[in-house]
Amino acid sequence: MDFRINIATPNGTGSYTANRLLTKILLKNGIFCSSKNLFPSNIAGLPTWFNIRINKEKFTGFKKETNIYIGFNKKTYLSDLEDIGSDALVITNKDFKLSTSNKETIEIPIRELTKPLSESPSLRKLLSNLVYVGYCAKVLGCNKEKSIEVLKKDFLKKSEELFKLNTDAFLKGFDYQNETESEATFFKQEKAPQTLTTDFDETHLIDGNTASALGFLDGGASVVTWYPITPSSSLVENFEKIGRTLKSSKGITVLQCEDEISSAVAVLGAGWSGARAFTATSGPGLSLMQESIGLGYFSEVPMVIADVQRAGPSTGLPTRTAQGDLLTAHYSSHGDTLHPVLLPSSVQELYDDSFQSLNLAESLQTPIILLSDLDLGMNDWSTKALQRSNKVNRGQVVTSKQDDFKRYKLNKNLPERSLPRISDPSLSYFTRGSGHDEKGRYSENPEVYESKLTKLKNKVIKNKNLFPKDILKEENSEFSLIFYGSTTQIIKEVNALLGESISTYQIRSLPCDQKVYDFAKKYKFNFVLEQNRDGQMHKILKANSLNENFVSLTQFNGLPSTAEHFVFQIKTYLEKDS
Amino acid sequence: MSFSKLDYKGKNPSTLCKGCGHDGITASIVNAYHELQIPPQDIIKLSGIGCSSKIPNYFMDSSFGFNSIHGRMASLATGVHLSQPKAKLLGISGDGDTASIGLSGFLHMIRRNVPIIYIIADNGVYGLTKGQFSATSKSGDTLKSKQEQVFEEINSLLLALNTGCDFVARAFSGDQVQLKSIIQAASLHSGSAVINVISPCVAYGNHEGYSKNYSLNQEIKYDLNEIDIIPDPKEALLPKLNIKNLKPDYNHHSIESALKLLQSEQTTKALHTGIIYLNKNPKENLNQRLNKSAENKFDLENFGLSDEEFSSFLNNYKI
C-alpha cells in the first residue's frame, strides 16, 4: 500500500512542529512512513506543503499523487485541489467556507473545537494544527494511548501545561471523527492503513543535518567557522547545541564569520595549526570559498566543507533540493585541482562520511567536500539506530627533531606535516599558496612545479582505498542504474516499478573508482540518474570512459526526485532503442 | 637559555627592492623580539599577498609561517587563534591587502579582538602589479605616470579605532627604533594591536606629489610619545611598559583624543607616530569571549563522544 499525505499550511504558523509530530505518531503506531517538507524561502505567511509517505515496501522517495490532502491554507486550497485527483480524501477547516467537488471532503470546525482550549487567538491558531494531527491519526488507525506517548516525549520536557494543551487539542481532533459519518467510505476501502502495520527496524527519526553534526562531533571536530545559509544552517546550529550538552565535546568552538570567504580561510588556519575544523555551507557559499579551497589544495592543509546543496545557480531556489554542485565541488578553484567529494545517501552515511571527512582531510592533507542536499539534510528520515564503526585517524604528524625536514616530500604516498608550537622548531616551515619545493621554499622552477601538481593528483587518486566504498549489486539485466547521494533513496522503487531486478551501482565518492568502469562494461546501457540539468556525474564518467555506454537521466525541478519520473525516462529510452 | 640575534634573523635574503621601507620593518621586528628574548617558536607569522606579505619570509626561520591569499590574513589569524588560543600571532599585511580586498576581514578581526600584532606596511601603491593606487593613497596624490588620485583615502587607523581596537599605533619605517619599541609594546597587549607603518615604495611611490614618499614623511613626522620597555629583573613578570607623552595635552588612553588627532591630520598635515591609543582596560579577546579555556585543542588521542553520550543523544531521536 502506498499513500501520500499532503498537508498545506501557511509557513510560520507552527505547522512544521505539528506535522513532524504526526510522522512520529504514525511510526510509533507501526506505520512506516517518511516525510518531505516543501517550504518557501520566507519567514511567515507563504504556502508550505508537508508530505508524509506511507509505504509498506519502505519506499521513501517523493510521490506525485496525493491520497490524503489536508488543506489548512485558505490561499492555496482551491488551486491545490486542481492538481489533486478527485479520489483523494480532503480534510479541511470548516471555517474556510470553501466548497469543492471532491468525492470526500471532511470539514473540521476548528474554531468551535479550539475555542474552549484557550482565550488567546494566537495560541488557538497553533493548537488548530494539533486538531488536524489528531483527526488524521485517528483516520489512519492510530492508537490513542500510543499517540499520546509521542506528545509526552516532545512536550513534557518543555512544560506540563504545554503538554496538556497540545494533548487536549490533539484529542479534540482524534475524537471528532467519531461524531461524523463522512469518514467512512475512504477508509472502508482496502487501502486503509491499518493493514500496513508491520514490524520494522527503523526505530529512529532523524534529519540529515543532525546526523552530520553528530558525525562531526564524534569525529572530534573542535573548530567550526561558518556563515548562515539555507539549507546548511541547522547542521552547525545542531553541532553547537548538541556539543554544548555533551561533556566530551565541551571544548568545541563555533564562530559565525562575516562571510563564507572568511569562514573557509579560518578553517584553513585552524586545520593548519592542529584543530579538526570544518565549515558548512550551500552553493553560493561554495562559490565564494573557491580561492581558499585552491589554497588548501596547493599548500596541503586539511579542510572539510559540508555543502548541503540547494537549487542554483545564483540564489536559485534556496529552499529546494538539487545535486547541482558536483562539478564545482570536484574541481573547485582555478588551475588544475581535483578534490575528494563524499556522496552520502542516507542519515547513516551522512554520519559516517562527516566523521570520515575529518580523517580523510588529515590523512591526505587536502580539502574534502562532503556533498549532501536539502532533501537529505533538512528532512526527517526513518532509520535504524546509527551504527558507530569509525576510528579517528589524524594522518601523519611529525613532532620530534629532524635534520633536513621536508614538509612536501614527493616520494611519500601519504603526506607528512608538522604543526606550529607542537612540533619541534626544526620542523618549522613556511606555508604558501605560491610555487614551492619539497621544503616549502618559494620556487618558480618548471620541474618543481610540474612534479608538485602531479603529486597532488596522485595523492588523491592513489589513496582511493581510504574513501567510502561504492555499493554495487549485480543482476542479470540488460542495463544498469548508476546514481549517488539522495537519488539513491528512490532506486528500490525504480527497480520495483520496472518489474525486474536491475544491476545497480551507487557511487559513494569522487574521483570515480575504476570499479565503476569495470561494472559498466557489462551492460548495454548504464543509466546515470541525478538531480541536475546537465548530468554532471554523467559528464565525469564520460570524461574517463572508453566505450562504456553511459546514458544521462536527470530531474531538476527543485523537488525531490520521483521514481515515476526516472522510470518514464528509462522506458522511453528503451522503446526508442528497440 | 638565551637566543642570539641570529635566531631572529632569517637566512633567506630579502627579494624586495633595494631601499624598500619594508626591510626596515623586518629589522625592527628582529630587534624587538631579540631584546625581549621571546622564543621564536612561540611566534606564528601570518601574511596575505603583496610585497608586504613577503616580509615574514625574511625573519625567524624557526617560527612557523603562513603566507596565504590576498586580503585574508585576518581570517586566517582568526582560525589559528581558535585552534591555538595561546599562540602569539604576528601578522604582516599591506595597504591593498588590508584597506581594499581585506577590509571586511580586518574590521571583523578587530571587532572580535583576535590577539595579534597586525602590522600594515603602508606605501599607498600596489608594487607587485607595478604601481597602481591603493585605497590609502590620498586624494590629489599623483602616480609617476601623472595619473591623479580622485577618490578619498581609507584611513585604516580611524577604522580600527571606531571598531573598538584597544591598541592603535603608527610608525615610519625610517625610524626603526620607534617601530621596534611599538612592536614590543604591542607584544604585551592581549588583543588586536594594529600598527600602521608608513613604508615608502622606492619603485612607485617615492616621488614628489606622492604623500607617502620618504622625505615628506620624514619631515612631517611628529612623535607622540617615547616608549620604554623595562624588563622584570627576576624575569618572572611581563616587562613593564612606560609611555612618556611628548605632545602637550595628548592622552593616548583617551579614544576621543585619538580620534580627534587622526581627524585633525587632514589640516595639520602632520604624521603622528607612536602609540595613538592604548585602552587602559583592555577588552577580552575572542577566545575569552567565547568562554573557552586557553588550552591547546590539539590532542592526538582524546576524540569523539563516549558510548553513553552517543546513546543518550540517539535516544532523543527514538520514536
Concatenating the DSSP letter of every residue in A527-569 gives EEEESSSS-HHHHHHHHT-SS--EEEEE--SSSPPBHHHHHHH
- Closest residue by Cα to residue B120 from B159, B66, B149: B159
- Does pLDDT of A103 surpass 60? yes
Query: Count of CB atoms within 10 A of residue A281's CB?
Result: 28
Partner A contacted by B88 (CB < 8 A): no
If DSSP states are collapsed to H, E and C, what string results for A29-47?
Answer: CCCCEEEEEECCCCCCCCE
Which has the minimum average pLDDT: A18-22, A243-247, A307-311, A366-370? A243-247
B10 φ, ψ to 5°? -95, 155
Closest to B137 in 3D by CA, of B148, B145, B300, B129: B148
**Closest residue on chain A to B47 (Cα):** A432
Considering just the CA atoms, what is the radius of gyration of chain B in Å?
21
Residue among B296, B89, B73 at smallest CA distance from B192: B89
Element (H, E) at A394: none
User: CB distance from B89 to chain A under 8 Å?
Assistant: no
* Complete domains list, chain A, with CATH: 2-200 (3.40.920.10), 202-466 (3.40.50.970), 471-577 (3.40.50.920)
Residue B296 near chain A (CB below 8 Å): yes
Which ipTM was obtained for this model? 0.96
Domain of B135, in residue numbers: 5-315
User: What is the rounded distance in angstroms from the CA atom of residue B109 to the CA atom of residue B115?
Assistant: 9
Who contacts B216 (Cβ-Cβ below 8 Å, separation ≥6)?
none
10 Å Cβ neighbour count for A373? Answer: 28
Judged on CB neighbours under 10 Å (0-12, 13-18, 19+), B16 is buried
- Of A187-201, A473-487, B176-190, B258-272, the poorest mean pLDDT is in A187-201
| pLDDT value of residue A244 | 84
Question: A495 with A503: CB under 8 angstroms?
Answer: no
Q: Does A272 touch chain B (CB under 8 A)?
A: yes
Report pLDDT for A184. 43
Q: pLDDT digits over B192-221, tens only? A: 999 999 999 999 999 999 999 999 999 999
Closest CA to A520 of A461, A460, A470: A470
Distances from the Cα of B228 to the Cαs of A22, A139, B156, B253, in angstroms? 71, 83, 26, 16
Asked if A227 and A257 touch (Cβ cutoff 8 Å), the reply is yes
Cα angle A241, A245, A250 (rounded to 5 degrees) comes to 95
Query: What's the total number of domains in chain B?
Result: 1
Edge to edge, the sheet with strand A89-93 lists A33-38, A47-55, A2-10, A68-71, A89-93, A104-108
B159: domain CATH number is 3.40.50.970
CA A91 to chain B, closest CA, distance in angstroms equals 26
Q: What is the nearest CA distance from A522 to chain B, expressed in angstroms?
A: 42
% of chain B with per-residue pLDDT over 70: 95
Per-chain mean pLDDT for chain B: 94
SS3 label, residue B204: coil
Contacts of A491 (CB under 8 A, 6+ apart): A481, A483, A504, A506, A529
- Which of A66-80, A279-293, B100-114, B157-171 is least confident? A66-80
Interface residue A392 vs chain B (CB under 8 A): yes
Residue B80 has pLDDT above 80, yes or no: yes
User: Which set of grid coordinates corresponds to residue A465?
Assistant: 582505498
Indicate the pLDDT class of residue A427, thresholds 50, 70 and 90: very high
Determine contact: B3 vs chain A, CB below 8 A.
Answer: no
Please answer yes or no on whether A386 and B314 come within 8 Å at the CB atom: yes
> Half-sphere exposure of B244 toward its Cβ, with a 13 Å CA cutoff?
6
Q: Which residues of A touch B297 (CB under 8 A)?
A: 222-223, 251, 253, 274-275
CB atoms within 10 A of CB A23: 25
Cell numbers 620607534: residue: B178
Question: What confidence category does residue A2 fall into, taking pLDDT thresholds of 50, 70 and 90?
Answer: confident
Burial category of A63 from C-beta neighbours within 10 Å (exposed 0-12, middle 13-18, buried 19 and up): buried
Flag whether pLDDT at A8 surpasses 70: yes
Please state, as a whole number, how many other Cβ atoms lie within 10 Å of the Cβ of residue B125.
28
* Higher pLDDT pick, A523 / A85: A523
Contact A223 B83 (CB under 8 A): yes
The answer to whether the CB atoms of B300 and A255 lie below 8 A apart is no
**C-alpha–C-alpha distance, residues A194 and B171, integer Å:** 81
In the predicted model, what is the mean pLDDT of residues A463-467? 97
At A205-226, the pLDDT tens digits run 999 999 999 999 999 999 999 9
The half-sphere exposure of A75 on its side-chain side, counting CA atoms within 13 A, is 8
Q: For A392, which residue in chain B has the nearest alpha carbon?
A: B303
Is B42 in contact with A421 (Cβ distance < 8 A)? yes
**B293: exposed, middle or buried (C-beta count within 10 Å: 0-12, 13-18, 19+)?**
exposed
Between CA B14 and CA B16 the distance in angstroms is: 5
> How far is the C-alpha of B312 from the C-alpha of B309, rounded, in Å?
5
Instruction: Kindly report the nearest CA distance between residue A565 and chain B, in angstroms.
Output: 32
**How far out from the chain centre does Cα A89 lie?**
30
d(CA A90, CA A86): 9
Average pLDDT rounded to a whole number, residues B243-254: 97
Q: Which residues of B touch A214 (CB under 8 A)?
A: 310, 313
User: How many secondary structure helices (H) and strands (E) does chain B include?
Assistant: 11, 12
> How many inter-chain contacts (A to B, CB under 8 Å) are there?
201
Q: What is the mean pLDDT of residues A148-153?
A: 96
Cis link prior to A313 (omega < 30° from 0)?
yes
Nearest CA in chain B to A422: B298
Q: How far is A243 from chain B (nearest CA, A)?
A: 10
Task: Choose, out of A272, A291, A351, A354, the residue to mutate when testing the contact with B (most B CBs < 10 Å).
Answer: A272
**Chain B closest-CA separation from residue A458 CA (Å):** 24
Across the interface, which of A204, A222, A421 has its CB nearest the CB of B87?
Answer: A421
Judged by CB atoms closer than 8 Å, whether chains meet at A251 and B41 is answered as no
Q: Which residue on chain B is closest to A432 by alpha carbon?
A: B67
CB of A306 within 8 Å of a chain B CB? The answer is: no
> Which residue in the set A204, A263, A274 is minimally distant from B83, CB to CB?
A274
Contact criterion met (CB < 8 Å) for A274 and B297 = yes
- Give the mean pLDDT of chain A: 93
| Spatial CB neighbours of B260, under 8 Å, sequence gap ≥ 6 | none
CA distance readout (Å), A71 to A40, A124, A185, B63 = 17, 18, 19, 66
Q: In the prediction, which pLDDT does A192 show?
A: 54
Nearest C-alpha of chain B: how many angstroms from A150?
7
Give the integer Cα–Cα distance in Å for A203 and A212.
18
In single-letter form, the type of residue at position A297 comes to: Y
Question: What share of chain A in percent tops pLDDT 70?
Answer: 96
pLDDT average, residue stretch B21-34:
97
How many Cβ atoms sit within 10 Å of the Cβ of residue A483? 27
A417–B contact, CB cutoff 8 A? no
A392 pLDDT higher than 70: yes
**What single-letter DSSP state applies at residue A485?**
G
Residues 435-454 of A with CB under 8 A from B: 441-442
